[in-house]
Structure 1
Amino acid sequence: MIVLLFRVLIFIALACILYTIFQYFRNPRRKLQIAKEQMEFFLLDEEQNSKKNLQFVYKGCLFEGEKYLGTTEQSFEVVTIQITAPEPLDLRGLTRDDLYFLEKELLIRYPYAQIEWKHPINKLLITPVK
């Protein structure tokens, strides 16, 4: 009886370890960190949840965006996204074209949104994309 109980506990422990490993590899924050290290573009967002902020990485710089819900002619949509960079020193090397690329990527997902860049990023933009 004790041997059977011990085998069941070992099976449960192995199942928990496998589940933990599976969750580790599916974790979106890990994917965000890998994209930052590899200097790639990666967007972490729940489009259906307007209360949850979005995060994205481009050329090794992490950006955070706050989504604000508003009305359009037909429905409630995300109408404003305010983007900040928590680490301004990571902005080194970014150009206007990079910011325009990021705006285009966000406008693909949120076509009604007006994108507002916070300091110091807004100092680089001369003409905002509409």
Structure 2
Amino acid sequence: MTVLLFRIFLLLALAIITYSVIKYLTDSRRRLERARRRGEMYVYDDPREVRRNLLITSGGALFEGEKYLGTAETSVEVTSIQLQTEDTVELNGMTLQDFHQIEKELQLRYPKAVIQWREPTAGMIRRLRRKQEAADTAPPTDA
């Protein structure tokens, strides 16, 4: 009888360990941190839960987005997303294309939403746009 109870306990412990490992490997927060370390893009968001902020990482920077509800044509949907970052040092090395990629990804998920960047990220995007426009309008140099 004791051996049977021990075997049941052992199987139960093995099942709990297996469940814990699977939950750990499929955890979205862990995936977000891994993508952040690797400099990849990942969106941590629950589209069904509007009150929860979304987290998005790209180029090693982590952005937090606040979703706001509004009326869009005949339904109530997310009509505005405001993005910000806590650490501006993480923005070092990001290009205008990185910010456009983030906006495209959010537009795919929330097509009726207006994406707004908060300071200091908005100022950095303005500087990058001016820099790109200046490079586009500058005459080619002959060497």
In terms of fraction of residues, the more helix-rich structure is 2
Question: TM-score, structure 1 length as denominator?
Answer: 0.91
Q: Which residue of 1 aligns with 2:87?
A: 87
The size of the alignment, in residue pairs, is 127
Q: Which residue of 1 aligns with 2:43?
A: 43
CA distance in 1, matches of 2:98, 2:39: 13
* Greater Cα radius of gyration, structure 1 or 2: 2
SS, match of residue 112 in structure 1: coil
Task: Note if 1:56 corresponds to 2:67.
Answer: no
Q: Which residue of 2 aligns with 1:107?
A: 107
Shift in Å at residue 95 of structure 1?
A: 2.3
Shift in Å at residue 89 of structure 1?
A: 1.0
**1:96–1:124 CA contact under 8 A, matched in 2:** no
CA distance in 1, matches of 2:26, 2:95: 32
For each residue in 1:85-116, what CA deviation from the matched residue of structure 2 results, as whole angstroms up to 9, or x when unmatched? 12211011112232122112111111111111
CA distance in 1, matches of 2:97, 2:2: 67
CA distance in 2, matches of 1:124, 1:89: 12
Question: TM-score, structure 2 length as denominator?
Answer: 0.84
SS, match of residue 119 in structure 2: coil
Q: Which residue of 1 aligns with 2:133?
A: none
Aligned-pair identity (%): 41
CA distance in 2, matches of 1:47, 1:17: 30
> Which letter maps to 1:90?
E
Can you give the 5+ residue segments of structure 2 that lack an aligned partner in the other structure? Answer: 130-143
CA distance in 1, matches of 2:10, 2:29: 30
Kindly report the root-mean-square deviation, in angstroms, between the aligned alpha carbons of the 2 structures: 1.3
Q: Which residue of 1 aligns with 2:132?
A: none
Q: Which residue of 2 aligns with 1:98?
A: 98
> Which letter maps to 1:29?
R
**1:68–1:79 CA contact under 8 A, matched in 2:** yes
Shift in Å at residue 5 of structure 1?
A: 1.0
CA distance in 1, matches of 2:97, 2:8: 59
Paired residues for 1:59-70 under 5 Å: 59-70=59-70
Superposed structure 1 runs of 4+ greater than 6 Å apart:
none
Q: Which residue of 2 aligns with 1:11?
A: 11
> Which letter maps to 1:76?
V
Can you give the 5+ residue segments of structure 1 that lack an aligned partner in the other structure? Answer: none
